[in-house]
Amino acid sequence: MLADRIIKAAADIAETSVDGATEPATEVIGESLKETVEKANQFLDHLENMVPSIINFGINILIAIVIFGFGKILIRCLLKICNKFFDKANMEISVKKFLLSLIKTILFVILAITICGQLGIETTSFIAVIGSAGLALGLAFQGSLSNFAGGVLILLMKPFKVGDYISESGTGREGTVQQIDICYTTLITPDNKKVVIPNGNLSNSSLTNASAFEKRRVDIEVGISYSADISVAKMEMENLANNHSLILKEEEIFSFVSNLDSSQVTLGLRVWCQTSDYWTVKFDLTEGIKKIFDEKGIEIPFNQLVVHLDN
């Protein structure tokens, strides 16, 4: 063995260099060298035992590198697919960028956990910490997350868009949509007031979108006295509608008796116009019916109070 050869060489050196004290010097040097060589052999044995672990660790590192490279390519492909899907859905640019960043972050976190598991790092506690942190943040920002989720749903499903006139059934607030953000939607009321509504409320209540279609029906109701001629009143309303330039003539212009009330006969008129002309047509018809009824002597009943004075 290597130790024996070193001990023998050291003994020969001691015999030639020390006169009269050859055997004691040889024993001391031999034992010292033997102890050193034994430690060296133990270290070499330890390294030899570590070789399989080092090889396995190196293989795991190579596999982790391959997983990382393949994962990056896969994430890039998934992001391209999501981007194309969002473009086809005509998603708002701000929401698209946010969702792409969120998806990218989640995919890289999953990739990092996979690589850590391949390297033998315990990931259970790491996942538990992430879950606990997510739960804590969710409870802390419950209202904001609700508004955020509502904003994402609105921008994805598009029940309304900027420029539409909507009304909310919950609070009765209505107006023209000026801006749709992630958490809030801004309305401008007809009297030029700015209303900011949380998206969580809009996504959880029923909405009426008056601008959803290009054309809209205008309904007019007016009461006439029982002594008036119903046929003449209906004909005059239809003539008024036919002569209005903003009313769509290809659609039906329909007049009818809506109800027989206690003090009047209620007539109805239905016409169609462009959505943008709705209020103009409604106001014009209301005023025009009053004028034409006055000209034709058709009475519009109204409540009257008779006062008797006792002298």
Check if the beta carbon of residue 140 is closer than 8 Å to that of residue 133.
no
The per-residue pLDDT for 8 is 56
Q: What is the mean pLDDT of each successive set of 10 residues along the chain, which is 311 residues long?
A: 51 51 55 68 65 71 84 89 82 71 83 78 67 63 69 79 85 86 86 88 84 92 93 94 93 93 93 94 95 93 79 73
pTM reported for the whole predicted model? 0.56
What are the two backbone dihedrals, phi and then psi, of residue 176, each rounded to the nearest 5 degrees? -90, 130
DSSP type of residue 276: G
Residue 220 has a pLDDT of: 95
Alpha helix locations (H) across the chain?
A: 2-17, 22-88, 93-118, 124-140, 142-157, 199-203, 230-242, 278-296
Q: How far is 72 from 69, CA to CA, in rounded Å?
A: 5
Say if CB 30 and CB 13 are below 8 A apart.
no
Output the six-digit token pair for 77: 């492909």
| Torsional class of 33: left (φ above 0), alpha (ψ -120 to 50), beta (otherwise) | alpha
Q: What number of residues does the chain have?
A: 311
